[in-house]
Amino acid sequence: MGQYYKPTSVDKMESLYSHDYGNMSKLMEHSYISNDFVELAEDLLSPEGEWYKHSFVWAGDYADEEPSGSNLFTLAKEIQVNPHNGPSAGRYIVNHTDKDYVDKDIVPEDKEGWKVHPLPLLTCEGNGRGGGDYRKDNNWIGAWARHRISVENSIPEGYTELIPNFEMD
């Protein structure tokens, strides 16, 4: 079976549902640069957004349960926000917990011009448990889950660049 995902603010226990924005729910169905659903999550993580520097996760419905007995996919309240219109919220995905960042402008293209968006893959929980998950070997899958994340136009001073190099199948 396929695993479905929702970008989720752990601090607010809020999530976005991909179908509300015309997108599919499996991780690799929406995890590419310029996807409007991922850009909507970026907007919420921007300095003007309601999830700025929140503990953040791309919650899978097969992820481990919380102490309450359900997982974040089920527990977080789905919210609806205005669809993304306009340019990306920022060039850099920033992890304030580890003081790392990823530059989306240097994400490599595959032979068909697609670029894997690092935000869902770095922050996902439950990857590898269902169809549509990221299948290539990469130590960065889920490494930023529940960390304090933002999307910025500039690199915070003293932060280190991370180059995860996710690839399409």
Over residues 39-67, the pLDDT tens digits come to 999 999 999 999 999 999 999 999 999 99
111 or 117, which is more confident:
117
Look at residue 169 and tell me whether its pLDDT is greater than 70. no
Classified as helix, coil or strand, 21 is: helix
Q: How far is CA 63 from its chain centroid?
A: 15
- CA–CA–CA angle 136, 84, 22 (5° rounding): 65
Q: What residues contact residue 42 under an 8 Å CB cut-off, 6+ apart?
A: 84, 88, 89, 90, 93, 119, 151
Contact 150, 46 (CB under 8 A): yes
